[in-house]
């Protein structure tokens, strides 16, 4: 693990710290298990939404978020990641969801989205949002739906 993250209010969402999945994988919200260097490489080099993101910016994003890692139980290797930006009261944004190419197609993305949903459920949030260009079916399996009234929404920054 890469523990060179800046100091900050790491959110430990350990309402349920670990969830075992079929196929020898588990999801954990333990921030100490995150491999920040690997997460940065995945997102800055292999995602369409964060290409070129600096390591410093990624580390700050991790520190300010509720983080979910997917791990191979046998090796302990991290194989997936997602983070949530939330006030734990009314709203959450699920972002930076990534599953390593070597383990895609095993349902880990849907399991990760479901784990996020289940972790946030006790907070009674009004809505959890996400944006995706190409994984609508993955998130739909976890209960996400297209915006009912997209004309109500606006964005500041990159669309």
- Global pTM reads 0.87
Q: What is the pLDDT of residue 19?
A: 73
Q: How many C-beta atoms surround the C-beta of residue 159 within 10 A? A: 5
Q: In what order do the strands lie in the sheet with 78-86?
A: 18-21, 25-28, 66-72, 78-86, 91-99, 127-129
Angstrom CA distances, 56 to 30, 40, 60, stand at 21, 9, 6
Q: What is the pLDDT of residue 55?
A: 98
- Per-residue pLDDT tens digits of the chain, which is 159 residues long: 444 443 333 333 443 566 778 789 999 999 999 999 999 999 999 999 999 999 999 999 999 999 999 999 999 999 999 999 999 999 999 999 999 999 999 999 999 999 999 999 999 999 999 999 999 999 999 999 999 999 999 999 976
Indicate the DSSP class of residue 136: H
Indicate the DSSP class of residue 32: G
- Give the start-end residues of each E strand in the chain: 18-21, 25-28, 66-72, 78-86, 91-99, 127-129
Q: What is the pLDDT of residue 158?
A: 77
| Topology at the third CATH level for domain 14-152 | Aminopeptidase (3.40.630)
Q: What is the pLDDT of residue 159?
A: 64
Helix/strand/coil percent split, the chain, to 5: 35, 25, 40
Angstrom CA distances, 4 to 7, 35, 36, 56, 107, stand at 9, 10, 8, 10, 31
What are the residue ranges spanned by the domains of the chain?
A: 14-152
Residue in the block written with tokens 């290797």 = 77
Q: What is the pLDDT of residue 20?
A: 74
Spatial distance between the Cα atoms of 142 and 10, rounded to a whole number of angstroms: 26
Spatial distance between the Cα atoms of 142 and 159, rounded to a whole number of angstroms: 24
């Amino acid at each position: 693990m890469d523990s060179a993250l800046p100091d900050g209010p790491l959110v430990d969402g350990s309402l349920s710290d670990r969830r075992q999945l079929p196929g020898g994988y588990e999801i954990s919200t333990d921030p100490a298990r995150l491999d920040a260097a690997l997460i940065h490489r995945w997102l800055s080099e292999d995602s369409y939404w964060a290409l070129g993101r600096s390591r410093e910016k990624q580390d700050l994003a991790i520190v300010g978020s509720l983080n979910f890692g997917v791990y191979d139980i046998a090796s302990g290797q991290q194989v997936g990641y997602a983070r949530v930006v939330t006030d734990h009261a009314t709203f959450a944004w699920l972002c930076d969801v990534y599953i390593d190419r070597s383990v895609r197609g095993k349902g880990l993305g849907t399991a990760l989205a479901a784990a996020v949903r289940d972790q946030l459920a006790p907070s009674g949030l009004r809505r959890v949002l996400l944006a995706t260009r190409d994984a609508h079916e993955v998130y739909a399996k976890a209960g996400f739906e297209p915006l009912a009234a997209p004309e109500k929404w606006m964005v500041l920054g990159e669309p």
